[in-house]
């Protein structure tokens, strides 16, 4: 049994030591960390807590090593750390440590903001008398003053506090916090304070008491630190960061991999942005985000490895994080081509844009399959098999949950099937219940969008202009899904909503045709189309048949007959797309529900 090895250790270094490491660059931030955002009141509250030796929470760091390499960046204000190689990276504690460093260690004004997000510059002081008064709130003893070192009121006409000279600081008893960790500056200030007050006994006792009760605790203040060791895997870093991140913004795998690749001077985000421009020129690919893009690359990479090493195929978070730069660079090109090939396949299925794509997630295995096949994708038999798998995923509604396992099953299953292997799990598992037709009510359902695409593929022509739907007419004529028996008419007749609002009573039609249909019963709008558009009854009947509509039923306003007939036709094209028989078409339950119109 392999012994358990801890991936972390704990320590309690002095705050001064942590801030010194920030200053020298020994401690830096991973590049994926967001910027410092704390406001003035947060800083004052933090200083007050430290001054009273109250805990401010643990800090988490990670040792820099070969196992996990991220591009580092120095803490805000720590300019001397530029170009230095860190020993540790701070995963949690950036806001607190930056606030401490800027207010206590750096010499310039702190760039912060008000509670209303207005940018301000501040110096911080401790009011000596208030610090030593047990009745005073320590927060009020922490004084924030503008970079002019003057507090004013009445629109700047009255000066309420002037600390613009060292003598003014002595006179007001305001200790400058940047001196707290600088022994020479601290001694110079305290000696100057005593001299300014001519070593008056009460003032000398006050500063001595301040040194004992305030200054010394700052020197002794310790911060609990959890140190992740060099052996900590990348996926653990990601999970830990999200668990401890108090900013409420989760860390994406893309950001973490960006930081990893940056250590090799490769800018992942810039590369993705340039590739995204070419992808987004194709409407069907506008839903591909950086996460699905990386997952597709990882899926392809993992499958390639399986072919040579017989390892398991996987594209979970840990696998994405373990993607090497060389693997990314090689397979990102293949995946971009695979995505474009996938979009071409879908266009032939009358799926043209992000609105009509049933499952965005299914683009991941589809693009990886296309990328691996390359030129073999031109084979008609291969394309037909791929589309059978695709439609089984859509109409079987198998891509609605967590999908990484299915991605792996599908790329191995489909590619094996294309080489004479067994039918893939998605085709085997896919099932469509006839009663599902009644519950497909909106485009939120993948099967609903899929059925509309199949109707367009079947050759459904527009009622008014007679044009079949292709990519040109889809966009030019604003093709969308509309009721055949209009909503207003059906509600007036008190037909069941489950029937008239279901996919059975829907068709892909132009916006112009939808206006002609209006709220009229079919026989009325049919007569209008024939007269105004000069379409012959025979031609219009052909158009109805292209939508799997029985011309006799719609012309006679036979809603019940129309529903029963069209439901059967829809089940037939579903069977054709999935390549398998739908059971239950003749069941008593189905026939009862499909015939019950009110």
| pLDDT class of 567 with cuts at 50, 70, 90 | very high
Find the mean pLDDT for residues 88-94. Answer: 88
- Of 429, 445, 465, the domain-final residue: 429
User: Quick one: 468 and 553 in the same domain?
Assistant: yes
Range of the domain at 219: 1-123+197-249
Q: Is pLDDT at 249 greater than 80 in this prediction?
A: no
Whether residue 175 is contained in a domain is answered as: no
Give Cβ neighbours of residue 377 (< 8 Å, ≥ 6 apart): 341, 345, 370, 383, 386
The Cα–Cα gap between 26 and 243 comes to 25
pLDDT of residue 326: 95
Residues 243, 258, single domain; the answer is no
Average pLDDT rounded to a whole number, residues 253-259: 82
- Same domain for 413 and 344, yes or no, is yes
pLDDT score of 247: 47
Q: Which of 214, 232, 249 is the last residue of a domain?
A: 249
DSSP 349: T
Are 220 and 265 found together in one domain?
no
DSSP conformation letters of 452-503: HHHHHHHTPBPTTT-PBP-HHHHHHTT-EEEESS-HHHHHHHT--HHHHTSG
Q: Do 260 and 381 belong together in one domain? A: yes
Q: What is the predicted pLDDT for the residue at 160? A: 92
Last residue of a domain, one of 429, 458, 479: 429
Higher-pLDDT residue of 475 and 426 is 426
Whole-number pLDDT of residue 478: 81
- Is 538 found in the same domain as 527? yes
Residue 179 lies in a domain: no
- DSSP string across 415-460: HHHHTT-PPPHHHHH----TTHHHH--STTSHHHHHHHHHHHHHTP
Please say if the pLDDT value at position 1 is more than 50. Answer: no
150: which 2 tokens? 């003057």
What pLDDT score was predicted for residue 34?
Answer: 66
Is-contact 397 434, C-beta < 8 A?
Answer: no
In a domain, 147, yes or no: no
- For the stretch 478-492, pLDDT in tens is 888 999 999 999 999
Clarify whether residues 101 and 118 are in a common domain.
yes
Residue 402 has pLDDT above 70, yes or no: no
Tens-place pLDDT, residues 180-213: 999 999 999 999 999 999 999 999 999 999 999 9
pLDDT at position 4 over 60: no
Residue 135 domain-assigned (yes or no): no
Between β-strands 506-509 and 480-483, what pairing exists: parallel, antiparallel or unpaired?
A: antiparallel
482 and 523 share one domain = yes
Contact 513, 464 (CB under 8 A): yes
| pLDDT at 241 > cutoff 80 | no
Judge whether 417 and 424 are in contact, CB under 8 Å. Answer: yes
What was the pLDDT predicted at 246? 46
- Averaged pLDDT, 24-41: 84
User: Does residue 210 sit in the same domain as residue 319?
Assistant: no
For residue 130, being part of any structural domain is answered with: no
Q: Say how far apart CA 50 and CA 43 lie, in whole Å.
A: 11
> Would you state the pLDDT for residue 538?
96
Same domain, 464 and 590: yes
> Is residue 282 situated within a structural domain?
yes
CA-angle at 404, arms to 399 and 406, nearest 5°:
55
The predicted pLDDT at position 240 comes to: 65
pLDDT of residue 67: 62
How many other β-carbons are positioned within 10 Å of the β-carbon of residue 76? 18
Least confident range of 295-299, 310-314, 395-399, 472-476: 472-476
- Asked if residue 559 has pLDDT above 80, the reply is yes
> Residue 449 in contact with residue 443, Cβ under 8 Å?
yes
Residue 595: per-residue pLDDT? 92
Q: Do residues 421 and 549 share a domain?
A: no
**Residues 505-531: what's their mean pLDDT?**
93
Mean pLDDT score of the chain:
91
Residue 36 lies in a domain: yes
> 286 lies in a domain?
yes
Please indicate whether residue 223 or residue 1 has the higher confidence score (pLDDT).
223
| Domains contained in the chain, number | 3
pTM summary value: 0.70
* Comparison of pLDDT for 265 and 246, the residue scoring more: 265
Choose among 131, 114, 136: nearest CA to 217. 131
- Averaged pLDDT, 329-347: 97
Q: Are residues 236 and 290 in the same domain?
A: no
């Amino acid at each position: 049994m392999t012994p358990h090895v801890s991936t972390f250790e704990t320590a309690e270094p002095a705050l001064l030591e942590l801030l010194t490491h920030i200053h020298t660059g020994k401690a830096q931030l991973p590049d994926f960390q967001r910027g410092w955002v704390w406001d003035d009141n947060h800083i004052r509250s933090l200083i007050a807590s430290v001054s009273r030796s109250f805990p401010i929470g643990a800090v988490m760091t990670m040792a820099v090593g070969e196992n996990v390499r991220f591009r580092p960046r120095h803490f805000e204000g720590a300019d001397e750390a530029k170009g230095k190689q860190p020993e540790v990276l701070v995963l949690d504690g950036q806001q607190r440590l930056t606030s401490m460093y800027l207010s206590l260690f750096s010499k310039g004004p702190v760039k912060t903001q008000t509670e209303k997000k207005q940018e301000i510059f501040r110096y911080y002081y401790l009011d000596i008398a208030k610090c030593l008064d047990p009745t005073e709130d320590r927060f009020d003893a922490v004084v924030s003053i503008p970079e002019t070192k003057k507090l004013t009121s009445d629109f700047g006409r009255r000066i309420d506090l002037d600390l613009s000279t060292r003598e003014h600081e002595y006179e007001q008893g305001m200790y400058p916090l940047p001196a707290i960790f600088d022994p020479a500056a601290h001694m110079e200030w305290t000696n100057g304070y005593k001299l300014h007050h001519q070593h008056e006994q009460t003032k000398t006792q006050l500063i001595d008491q301040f040194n004992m009760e305030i200054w010394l605790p700052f020197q002794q203040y310790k911060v609990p630190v959890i140190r992740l060791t060099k052996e900590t895997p990348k996926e653990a870093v990601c999970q830990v960061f999200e668990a401890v991140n108090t900013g409420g913004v989760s860390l994406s795998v893309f950001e973490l991999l960006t930081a990893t690749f940056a250590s090799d001077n490769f800018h992942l985000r810039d590369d993705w942005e340039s590739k995204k421009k070419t992808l987004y020129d194709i409407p069907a690919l506008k839903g591909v985000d950086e996460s699905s893009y990386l997952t597709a690359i990882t899926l392809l990479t993992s499958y390639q490895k399986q072919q040579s090493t017989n390892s398991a195929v996987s594209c979970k978070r840990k696998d994405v994080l373990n993607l090497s730069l060389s693997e990314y660079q090689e397979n990102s090109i293949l995946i971009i081509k695979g995505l474009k090939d996938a979009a071409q396949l879908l266009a032939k299925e009358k799926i043209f844009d992000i609105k009509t794509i049933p499952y965005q997630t299914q683009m991941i295995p589809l693009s990886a399959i296309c990328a691996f096949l390359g030129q073999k994708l031109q084979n008609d038999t291969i394309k037909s098999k791929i589309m059978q798998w695709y439609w089984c995923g859509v109409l079987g509604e198998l891509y609605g949950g967590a999908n990484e396992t299915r991605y792996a099953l599908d790329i191995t299953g489909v590619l094996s099937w294309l080489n004479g292997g067994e039918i893939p799990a998605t085709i085997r598992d896919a099932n469509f219940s006839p009663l599902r037709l009644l519950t497909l009510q909106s485009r939120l359902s993948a099967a609903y969008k899929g059925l509309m695409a199949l109707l367009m593929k079947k050759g459904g022509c527009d009622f008014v202009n007679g044009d079949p739907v292709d990519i040109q007419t889809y966009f030019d004529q604003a093709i969308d899904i509309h009721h055949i028996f209009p909503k207003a008419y059906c509600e007036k007749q008190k037909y069941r909503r489950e029937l008239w609002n279901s996919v059975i009573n829907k068709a892909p039609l132009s916006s112009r045709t939808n206006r002609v249909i209006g709220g009229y019963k079919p026989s009325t709008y049919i007569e209008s189309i024939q007269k105004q558009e000069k379409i012959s009854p025979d031609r219009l009947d052909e158009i109805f048949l292209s939508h799997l509509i029985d011309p006799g039923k719609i012309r006679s306003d036979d809603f019940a007959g129309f529903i029963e007939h069209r439901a059967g036709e829809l089940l037939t094209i579903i069977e054709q797309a999935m390549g398998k028989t739908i059971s239950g078409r003749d069941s008593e339950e189905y026939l009862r529900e499909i015939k019950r119109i009110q």
